[in-house]
Chain A
Amino acid sequence: MTDPSWIDAALVAARPRAVGALLRYFRDLDLAEEAFQDACLKALQTWPDKGPPRDPAAWLIFVGRNVGVDGVRRRGKQTELPDEAALSDLDDTETPLAERLDNADYRDDVLRLLFTCCHPDLPATQQIALALRIVCGVPVPRIARAFLIGEKAMEQRITRAKARIATAGLPFQTPGPVERIERLGAVMAMIYLVFNEGYTAPGVGDDRAGLSGEAIRLGRLLLRLFPTEPEVMALVALMLLQQSRAAARFGTGGELILLDDQDRSLWDRGAIAEGLALIDKAVRHARPGSYQLQAAIAALHARAPHAAATDWAGIERLYTALEALQPSPVIRLNRAVAVMKARGPQEALTMIEPLAEALDGFFYFHGLKGALLKQMGRSAEARTAFSQAVALANTPAEAAHIRSEIDSLSDTAAAVRPSTITNRRSS
């Protein structure tokens, strides 16, 4: 007798490898998914009594292939199956299949499946929806709730994405080393998109916030496939370190709580331990990259026992390195926050003023500008900047936070010496 909960977890865990292999066989996303679903039904019928197979993924692939082929035949060969002889890597038969089902063999299947979801022709929202549906197996109604749209609309979005991929054609040849690294980069970006979709959600525990957990699971999957890639280690570290603060980021009324003001006893120590271990491992490879720099910044926050102990000079150095690696006004804006903390608001304001044009439509730019002006006692200008920020806020929580900043601006603030305010802010 095999426990149903264990079977559930085994099916979820086997999904990327099984669907990836079935996609290679059928060369059609819908067929691969259907075949996997059918194999899961068979598993639920047989595993409870007979016990689980030694390798659940191999079992599901074998059964899925057979039921998939039957299905195609029943439909009168509407879809022409590829000629077996034409497929160099299709030498699977049951016994050898189970034998060779390790990560090295199936790495390209899973990577292809992930890469399919982040096809460059697809807009970000479709990439995320497709990855959640196909790789993670999240039911459509839950994805729809996470995106705050109707089930039908989400169904259509996923169907459109699949159609677009079918038209564009899937890359089935085994990738060369350079191509594999390119795919890896695209997949990492897609996983981080999924994470941020959940991380920016206004609260914990709801469907949308759950996306962060799915992204971390995808990241771990990728890391098991590429256990020695420092950038993959760092991506998982970055997500874990950010996610570790989830319980401290919102107040009881759903209001946003900034890093400085968070109750650090609410931070998830397990996630922090894993994140720090991974960034330590990544740095040892001496092959810096943008995820490593971002994770290293998150690690400096995680290592600080309280806000005042944060190594802002170290964070500024890391942002400088990040900006050198990929120059962007948004990274400069983040660097300015570190400069403000390390050396005061005047220098930070001088740094971000040239960004006004590039970041005019960006919430964080006006928010930071307002905060800097407020610290310098320039209340009227701060009020203008904050008002622009409110108009550009991405979530109600962000807007509420800026409004509370506006409320704390008083006309008397302008009369107080700037240095006093600066000192109070940074204490």
Chain B
Amino acid sequence: MRRRATLLIAALCAACSSAPPPAPPPAPQAQAQTRLNESEARAAALVRAGDFAGAAREYGEAIRLAASVENADALAANAINQSIVDQWLGRDAEAREAIARVTDDKQRNFPEKRRLQAEVRRAILELAGSHNDAAATWAGRAETRCAGACEHAATILNVQAQIALATSHPADAERLAAAAGERASARGDKAEQANALRTLGRAQRLQGNAAAALPNLEQALLIDRELGDPRKILADLTELAMANDAAGNRDAARNYYARAVAVSKAMNDTRGLAEMEAQVKRP
């Protein structure tokens, strides 16, 4: 009697623990697309959480999935994202490799918008690596594709302005940055507007017109504080310190240097910290 009861209980437990019948699997194409969407969502979440290395891995996986379903748009978008994240991690070679998947692939039918974005990103990467000629070439291609009326027009002009600064043409930089500022302002693109104002101020300072640079740099700082990007705030404070120094406002320059030191320490960014601290102490 007891054995029968034990068997009955065991059978009941087994019945309870058995898995329900599996749902029919989705179609392979839909399955891959779902995995692609999930991978993109995970990558975006990792970027928001500040895990850039994890995000780069996820973007790599998303690129692989997009390639497997021949989704050119997703492939390009994720390659661009991966290049951005790689650059944040200081992995410039990987960033260039990621963007080359789009810029160097003439066979695949990428959407025009993605090709343009990739060219802008390539120009940014080349300039960041001090390859000014290559940067100018890619920026020129992007400019041609954009025809002055795309959403990245201000970004392209800002990159060209920075190229002009890097190649010691501050007058050209001033003109390009002013045009970029107008485009960005018309589109309500605060980030590029601040970038344009910063570049404009720098170009004016380099031309010996530091007094004219100050209001532009102060406006850039206002916008960047509103956007809350410490990298840009640090750049604005440094530019303001140098412009004030050039304009003969030593006290104001010292104050901006001190603020830049505080921001730099808060960011754990030690680049140029010693020089800035020396500037603060300089009478």
> Real complex partners, A and B?
no
A interface with B by C-beta (< 8 Å): none
